[in-house]
Structures are given as C-alpha cells and as structure tokens.
Amino acid sequence: MPLGEKAGFEKSQSRYCGVEAEFNDDMPQLLNFNLSTGSFDFVVAPLMNPSYRPSLLEKDGVLPFAASDLVLSPSQWSSHVVGKLSSWIDLDSEDEALRMDSETTLKQEIAWANHLSVQACILPPPKGASCANYARCVNQILQGSNNMQLWLRIPLVKTDDDDMDANSTSFIDSWELWNSFRLLCEHHSQLSIALDILSSLPSLNSLGRWFGETVAAAIINTDSFLTNGRGYPCLSKRHQKLITGFFNHSIQIVISGKPAHSIPRPSSDLAANNFDNNSESPQRHPLRPYLDYVGFLFQRMDPLPEQERFELGYRDFLQSPLQPLMDNLEAQTYETFERDSMKYIQYQRAISKALLDRVPDDKASATTVLMVVGAGRGPLVRASLQAAEETGRKLKIYAVEKNPNAVVTLHSLVKLEGWEDIVTIISCDMRFWDAPEKADIVVSELLGSFGDNELSPECLDGAQRFLKQDGISIPSSYTSFIQPLTAAKLYNDVKSHKDLAHFETAYVVKLHNIARLTPSQPVFTFTHPDYSTKKSNQRYKRLQFEIPSDTGSATVHGFAGYFDAELYKDVHLGIEPSMATPNMFSWFAIFFPLRTPVCIKPGSPLEVHFWRCCGSSKVWYEWCVASPNSSSIHNSNGRSYWVGL
C-alpha cells in the first residue's frame, strides 16, 4: 500500500516502496508475503535461478526461470514485480567462459522480462572501471527493446580527495562509472539508475548531482539504518534529508537486506513512535519496521504549497517562449499572468515610490502623465491607479495596447470602473504611436524569462521618444543570468525530436529534476531610458564557471536562464534563484540545451559564450562552450530559433 496520502504527491512514483527479495520459484507466495503481509508495493525479484550458467546447461534443457508467466496475471507482473538480473553477470571479465555466459544470460533474462511485461529490470553494477562490453550489450538490447526500463545499479560512493592515499588507485567516484556507461549507451532514455544508498554519504554538493540524473529508485540496505532509543530502525539526519529529496523527485525507495535490528516486544505506548506498528500480526514481515520508518518520513513532509501544486503539470515540460510582437496573446494567457498578485504588488510599490519622488507633497495636486505600454487587459492600469490613491497623487493614464482583442477588454474595464476621465486607451503598437504629449513615467511588463527575450529593449527603445528627458521608466533596468545544469530528462526530451532545430531552441520550463552545478552569473544588462548615442541591443558575454571541488565531475546538459529587474530604485522583481521574488509564478526559467553534453571536472573551468544578435526582422541568441572542450556554436544566424520583430 502507498506510503500515505500527501497533497501534491497523488501521482508521484515516490509514494510506492519496494523490497528486494531473494530467489524464490514460488512467485505467488513471494508476492503475497511481501505485498499482503509486508505492505510493500512491489518486489525486486530475481527472474533466474542464481546457480544457472548457460555453459553448464544440457542441450535443449529448460531455462531455470523463477516461475511460469501463468502463475501471475499480466497486471501483477507489470505492476508489482521489478526484475533483478543475476548478480554474477560480468561482461567485461578476462575469463572468456564467464564473459560468454554473462552475455547469454543477460539477453535471456531481458527477453523473459519482456515476455512477462515487467516494466523495469535492475542491471547488476559493473564489476570494474571498464564496462565497455557490458554497455555494448545493454545498448544492443535497448535498441530493440519495447518500453521496458533498465535500471543500472550504482553504489552511491565518492571518496573525498582528503581521504585518499597519494598512491591509492581504488575507485573514487561512482558517478564516473555511471557517466561512462550512459555515454557508451548514447544517453538512451530507457536507461536509468538504481542508487545503492550506503551508511556513509558523500558531500552535499556531490549528492546534488544525482538529482539531475535519471534516478528511478534508491535502494537502502538495512545496514544503513541506525537504532533509536526504543530499539527501532531510524536514519541519520543526512540520510533523512536525502530520502526527502528522493520523495520530492519521484524516486522510489527499495528496502534491501536482512533485519539488522532486534525489535522489542510491542507495548501500549508505541503509538508515540509516530509511525504505524501493526506488530500484532501473527506473521509479521521482518522488514516491516523499515517500511514503517520510510512511511513516517513520507508522512512527515509538508504538503506542497498551492502554487507548487498548480505548477506540477509544468515540471520539466518544455514550452516554446512567447512571440509577443508577432502573436497576440490569448485570454487564458492573460488570465494566468493576471493571477500573479505578487508581481503587481511590486509594480504598485515601484510606481508609488516614483510618484513620491516625481511629485513633492507641496505639488500633490499636479497631474502626472503615466503611460502603460503593453497594457494587456489592464492589470498595470489598476496598479497605477492604486498607487496614485495610496500616495495622494493625480494621474493621467494612456493605456497603449496592440492586441485588438485585449483592447476590447480594456474598454469594458475602464467603463466598469468609471475611469473614463483618467484613462485613455490607445489601440496601437507602441513603436509606431505618435503620442500627443510626453510622459513623466512609462510602465511596462514586457520582460521574458531571460529578461530581454521577449524584446523589451526593442519595444522600450521605440517608446522612449515619448518619455520626458527626466522621465522614469519602470522597469529601469534588467539583467539576465545563466547557470550550468545537469538535466538528463530535459536533454532526453530534446533529443527525442531527432533534429538539430530542437537543440538550438531555448525553452521555457519549470525546472525540477535538475542539479544546479554552480551559482549563476550575469549575462546581459539593459537600462531604460538609454540616451547613449551609439546605442545597440546586440550583446556578447564570455563567462567562466567552476564547480566546487567536493562535487566531483558532472555533466552539463545545458544552461538555465533567469532575470532580475530593478523596477525602481530598491524595488526588484525576478526569478534568479538566490534573489527570486517569493510567491511569483508569471515566469519559469529558460533552458538553453547543448547538442553534446559536456563533462566538467573540479578545477577545470567551464568557459561559455553567449550572444544576443539583432537583424532587421528578428532577434536571436547564439551560445557555445569553449572549455574544457569546444562545442559547435548553437543557433548560428538564428537558423533554428528567433523572436520576430
């Protein structure tokens, strides 16, 4: 049964906990004991007798599989059984007989699992640092596979450099093993990871890498559990935090091993232990206390906030950015943006400060001309009028909007609110409007996820001609940021299109299953108004990133893009993680993919180049990596992705 009910986790795979079982040729009994008695949701079970070796089997002999496909229904095989391939398999052995037996057995077991409609199989970990032949065989299987997932078992190990002897050649970082294997398998989307969680954990930065990889399950051995004051199993604080991270990333937990705790006899006050006991069961499952503890950790999590639940469907879902000049927004898009109350609170604060600076108290009766350029359906008009009421200042507002459909709504709003004497609606593109007078304040919400990617600079340059020389622009400036990411899921989603254009497109995405490898760095900054004589909206930036030394090596699949805007003086708005405006959902990050992922090592800088290019009819970005090894320049001349003027 699932670990519990939790708001926001109704569809999450992490609600289900499995158990690793030993070989048993009575599959119905194995399933009944672990699911009915033990309350686990699925069983990781060997599909083949571990003593089997193809070279020892008599010709025409029957393969010693765990059970006939008929002993369970197809739905039981697919929902409650994860196949576990024979642990002795070693396809890179120097022993040719063992290597040949391993290859034969691997293919036989996978074929049997496919026949059973098992949804996933766990592959044994590579036996050494070299795994080329193993990966070759797995890749062959994946090329001809249906939808079955293969989970490569990898121990969660990274020895700190300080702990290593200078002459040591022992294995340091299991991530390197995974990276080597998945590169040999061409980043296949059906190859995932089953992480073996050990009693000792690497650093926080090192652990963080795995959340950007395709981890399907975390296997926790009973040896990794501590003992609490009542004699029951529990986990260290670091393990608890890691498990909670797995829950939040839809990673399933699997309990493995033999009972390592002598559970005391039940007493009446055990309910105070905060997790279900059920020890009165006459046939109590020996690993049930470990399941109860995992369930306790799941139940202890806070439910997802309403905003996060609203965004669930957008997690790691690639969306094309808006084309606000070429296309008119739909009513549903306007409605989503208008629900973002925090954004308009910040705008109202900025307008209030600007009005107080612009109009001193002794001239409060003077009328300030304010233009809302790109007024949409009127939320900034409302925020401006609320700011005027709050500060006791008088406004004359021009609401400039090019979308004729939104203009209809604007007229209705002005009439409904009785603003006819204050608000004048202009149905025109701001770049081509001849204003009857100049504005004291120009207000706009033209920012995209990357700040300038929805052509705010080009639009505000056009609007600048009707701003007074000492006038105020809100926003007054904005800066874009980029950050290297491990994002295997996003990379696989882009790769699935099998063309160049999708790798040269920037996507808006609610980032979730990612690892942020370093802090972000600023890229392009635009300031308004800009009266410089040699003004250009083209930009170029070279950046260098270096991952923390305790992270270990990592793969960069692309870059997250963010922005931070100064609306007016100290009033900011943005999505850059270290200074993001809280409780705001109008913008997700933007994602710039790399055609070929780059592996970076500690101490080896990642050099990145970004360009903002402008043509007569479009604006586009180009990007590349120059170090530790060079990539191609993505989106050269805007051949795949651009924003139309």
The partner residues of 397 in beta bridges, in order of sequence, read 370, 423
Q: Which residue in the list 445, 504, 566, 622 is annotated as catalytic? A: 445
- DSSP, residue by residue, 27-95: HHHHHIIIIIIT--SEEEEESB-TT--GGGSPTTPPP-BSS-GGGS-HHHHHHHEEEE--TT--TT-S-
Alpha carbon of 10 to those of 82, 247, 296, 315: distances in Å?
22, 12, 17, 15
Q: Which of 367, 364, 640 has the alpha carbon at shortest distance from 494?
A: 640
Q: What angle in degrees, to the nearest 10, is found between the helix axes of 404-417 and 331-338?
A: 50
Q: Is 308 a catalytic residue?
A: no
Alpha carbon of 143 to those of 124, 131, 187, 418, 449: distances in Å?
19, 18, 12, 66, 37
**At residue 387, what is the residue type?**
A
Binding site annotation covers 417?
no
> Given the DSSP bridges, would you call strands 215-221 and 191-197 parallel, antiparallel or unpaired?
parallel
Q: What angle in degrees, to the nearest 10, is found between the helix axes of 132-143 and 96-116?
A: 30
Q: Which residue in the list 20, 103, 213, 454 is annotated as catalytic? A: 454
Q: Which of 67, 75, 74, 89 has the alpha carbon at shortest distance from 21?
A: 67
Rg of the chain over Cα atoms, rounded to whole angstroms, equals: 30
Binding site annotation covers 20?
no
Burial class of residue 146, CB neighbours in 10 A (0-12, 13-18, 19+):
exposed
CB 211 within 8 A of CB 156: no
Binding site annotation covers 213?
no
Binding site annotation covers 290?
no
**At residue 395, what is the residue type?**
L
Q: Is 454 a catalytic residue?
A: yes
Distance, in Å, from the CA atom of 583 to the CA atom of 308, rounded to the nearest integer, reads 10
Binding site annotation covers 148?
no
CB 4 within 8 A of CB 10: no
CB 103 within 8 A of CB 130: no
- Which pair of structure tokens corresponds to residue 620? 């586009």
- Which pair of structure tokens corresponds to residue 521? 């760095």
- Which pair of structure tokens corresponds to residue 156? 């969660």
Number of H helices, E strands in the chain: 16, 26
Distance, in Å, from the CA atom of 110 to the CA atom of 115, rounded to the nearest integer, reads 9
Please give the biggest Cα pair distance in the chain: 104
- Which pair of structure tokens corresponds to residue 303? 């439910």
Binding site annotation covers 52?
no
Distance, in Å, from the CA atom of 313 to the CA atom of 309, rounded to the nearest integer, reads 8
Residue numbers annotated as active site: 445, 454
The annotation places the binding site at: 334, 343-344, 401, 429-430
Instruction: Enumerate the known binding-site residues for S-adenosyl-L-methionine.
Output: 334, 343-344, 401, 429-430
